[in-house]
A and B are shown apart, each in its own frame.
Chain A
Amino acid sequence: MTRARRTGGFLLAGLLLALLVAGVGSYYASSHPDGLEWSAEQEGFGDTARDSAVAGSPLADYAVTGVDDARLSGGLAGVVGVAATLVLAGGVTLLVRRRGRDRADAPAGRTG
């Protein structure tokens, strides 16, 4: 149990760090165009970019519609994003993982 509890502490610390980076740190991120956007402008194909079909979503561009304070808006968006990614990726990996003993027809063909 000790080992499981230690792993739980490690995962919790990692999650808090992710929330801190996305919720607080992201406000201080550079707002300059990224390498691809910048190259596209330099090389003359920047104006071929089109708005995503979800560009009007309430979280588009990492801001929450209706929240005027930039720090709060971006921070909330970051926290929502971390939570959504955790649920999605955590769900996928929990479904895919080997449980206890492998079934005989397991694709990887390894037994636990």
Chain B
Amino acid sequence: MHVPDGFLDATTSAGTAVLAAGTVAVALRGARAELDERTAPLAGLTAAFVFAVQMMNFPVGAGTSGHLMGGALAAALVGPWTAVLSVTCVLVVQALLFADGGLTALGTNVVLIGAVTVAVGYLCTRLATALAPRSRAALLAGSGIGAFLSVPVAALAFVGLFAVGGAVDVPLGAMAATMTGVHLLIGLGEAAITVAVLGAVLAVRPDLVHAARRLRGTATLADRPATAVGGAR
């Protein structure tokens, strides 16, 4: 999904760069509320983990592959603003060191992979936890659905950008259909990885998962049945 240089014209790339910079600036402020001494190290690890899993392209048939984008997973693990920062760090390392995703396209990739997937993933997870605040299954389902949807939504966002400033004129309807089709398949992989990783972390350390803050009372009870919930600290 990493957009290379050349797909979008200079004006559009400059526009997405400004949008990306603004998003990161807002995220730097928002992340402060999500990060404390205890959760900050998890944010670094989340970024490193997303980088690693993004290397694991999985086949989706017809000579095509996809890989995790990680926005929905990161949003559930460390919170949406920290997720934007974490995925942006991944994209910066990929673009600068590995020539994965263009340099002039870095802003585009931050918007698509760093912001759009985080937003879709977070909104779905938040909706699920609002409907069923005490349910770990609902949290996993919301994150899975968010992860699944985040991929085709990001793909369609790219089509939107291409409509504004694509390098060549191509039929946008056909392009949208092709992009949506293949990215729905990749979204299945995104959902599977997101649910597997989030489920594993919830099983071991639910207290570190941002989206499970409201489940924490239950987790604390289960951990230490003799002590009061949420003791002074």
Contact = CB atoms under 8 A, between A and B. Distances in A.
Same assembly: yes
Interface of A: 6-7, 10-11, 14-15, 17-19, 21-22, 25-26, 29-36, 38-40, 42-45, 48-55, 57, 59-62, 77-78, 80-86, 88-94, 96-100, 106-108, 110, 112
Interface string B87-108: 0011011111111111100000
A73 to B, nearest CB: 12
Nearest to A86: B48
A59 B98 CA distance: 5
B47 A43 contact: no
Max chain B C-beta neighbours (<10 A), residue from A31, A51, A83, A97: A97
A34 B48 contact: no
B28 A80 contact: no
Nearest to A20: B52
Interface string B37-53: 11111111111111111
A111 B167 CA distance: 49
Contacts of A50: 4-6, 102
Contacts of B179: 35-36, 39
A38 B183 CA distance: 11
B178 A39 contact: yes
B164 to A, nearest CB: 14
Nearest to B50: A85
A3 B17 CA distance: 41
B55 interface: yes
Contacts of B39: 97
Contact of B47 (A10, A51, A89, A106): A89
Given A7-B205, A18-B51, A39-B175, A85 B33 contact: no
Contact of B40 (A35, A48, A82, A97): A97
A43 B32 contact: no
Q: Is the interface of B mostly helix, strand, loop or mixed?
A: helix
Contacts of A51: 5, 99
Interface in B38-86: 38-53, 55-60, 62-67, 82, 85-86
B170 interface: yes
Given A62-B100, A96-B35, A108-B29, A89 B44 contact: yes
Contacts of A31: 57, 65
Nearest to A78: B55
27 contacts: A7-B41, A21-B49, A22-B55, A35-B1, A35-B60, A35-B66, A39-B155, A43-B170, A45-B162, A49-B7, A50-B102, A52-B99, A60-B98, A62-B98, A77-B98, A78-B55, A85-B51, A89-B43, A89-B44, A89-B89, A90-B40, A93-B43, A96-B28, A96-B35, A96-B40, A97-B39, A108-B29
B92 A21 contact: no
Nearest to B74: A89
Given A11-B41, A38-B182, A21 B99 contact: no
A90 B33 CA distance: 16
Contact of B103 (A40, A54, A86, A88): A54
B39 to A, nearest CB: 8
Contacts of A10: 204-205, 208
